[in-house]
Amino acid sequence: MITGKYPSLRLRRSRKYDWSRRLVQENNLSSSDLIYPIFLIEGNNKRQPVKSMPGIYRYTIDKLGVIIGKIIRHRIPMVALFPLTPNKRKDKYGNESLNENNLVCKAIRYIKKNFKNKVGIMCDVALDPYTSHGHDGLIKNNYVLNDKTVDVLLKQSLLQAQMGCDVIAPSDMMDGRVGKIRKHLDKNNYHDVQILSYAVKYASNFYGPFRDAVGSKKSLKGDKKNYQMDFSNKDESLREVALDIKEGADMVMVKPGLPYLDIIQKVKENFKIPVIAYQVSGEYSLIKSGIKNKLINEEAIIESLMCFKRAGATAIVSYFALDITNKL
């Protein structure tokens, strides 16, 4: 509550000079607040542009050294790995997710061999990059099966941990998967592997460019509304987070980001747990388009990221991470 009144109280006094504005700034953004997503592609010596995401590329394993080295120099603490699985390796069961030589597993081994623990590795746990139908789980009668999907996710999580993944990140939105993954990891002596649960993942219209990047957009049949959240709901997000914390989540995610700042704030205020915001592909591409067409300037990038911090986000998954670290 503000006490005092004008003219003895003038809030503009502290805004007059740069040093004063910096002195009383309530939130700060640094490279340590960022997680950089990396798309993977098969082959050799390739850096392939993602057309719907200007400035973003898919990398072959042998090209990871350059981008990972840059990430470490910029003091970004963690990367998130996402594969473009060739269609010939996709099937309705997502079996490629359990192949120890799939793109994600090979990338984990490469990064750990060459960079040890200089950067954390976050791995998506879901079947959509590997299924011929583009859904996050196993399907029967056009419905994603919960428990049978979780059985596959347990194997996927353990495989990623065995390869060296630091943070298992289930994004599938199946009920009960966090608790079962935690127990499965602990049973196999992976007590220190963290779980970042995509606890609050909405059935959003902002995911299109990402689905282009991982090759699931054209294959996706129907929508994901029977397992991802209704974007009309707020209270449901708190129930999802509460369940995942009880089941053993170390961190929780809210996805998408900017349209859901109210959810980020609510989750942080209620649970005091690390909350990761995902500034998703659609948000990225919209901002890039606005800058390209001179509708907004590049400072909008920093502004958008600071919004997450102001709302209570602990860290942000952002495709802008490498672009803006020199400006922080």
More confident residue, 149 or 219: 149
Active site residue 201: yes
Upstream peptide bond of 7 is cis (omega within 30 degrees of 0): yes
Domain that holds residue 44: 30-327
5 within some domain: no
Split at pLDDT 50, 70, 90, the class of 300 is very high
What span, in angstroms and rounded, lies between the C-alpha atoms of 154 and 138?
14
Give per-residue pLDDT as tens, 104-129.
999 999 999 999 999 999 999 999 99
- The pLDDT mean for the chain works out to 96
Active site residue 113: no
What span, in angstroms and rounded, lies between the C-alpha atoms of 176 and 174?
6
What pLDDT, on a 0 to 100 scale, did the predictor assign at position 219? 83
Q: Which of 90, 180, 224, 255 is catalytic?
A: 255
What span, in angstroms and rounded, lies between the C-alpha atoms of 29 and 170?
26
What pLDDT, on a 0 to 100 scale, did the predictor assign at position 218? 79
Is the C-alpha dihedral spanning 266, 267, 269, 275 positive or negative? negative
Assess whether pLDDT exceeds 80 at residue 193.
Answer: yes
What pLDDT, on a 0 to 100 scale, did the predictor assign at position 3? 79
84 within some domain: yes
* Cβ-based neighbours of 290, under 8 Å, separated by 6 or more: 296, 300
13 within some domain: no
Q: Which of 201, 266, 268, 309 is catalytic?
A: 201
What pLDDT, on a 0 to 100 scale, did the predictor assign at position 217? 81
11 within some domain: no
177 within some domain: yes
48 within some domain: yes
How many independent structural domains does the chain possess? 1
Please report, for the domain that includes residue 237, its CATH number.
3.20.20.70
- Residue 49 · residue 93 · CB < 8 Å: no
136 within some domain: yes
pLDDT > 70: what percent of the chain? 99
Give per-residue pLDDT as tens, 230-270.
999 999 999 999 999 999 999 999 999 999 999 999 999 99
16 within some domain: no
| Total-model pTM | 0.96
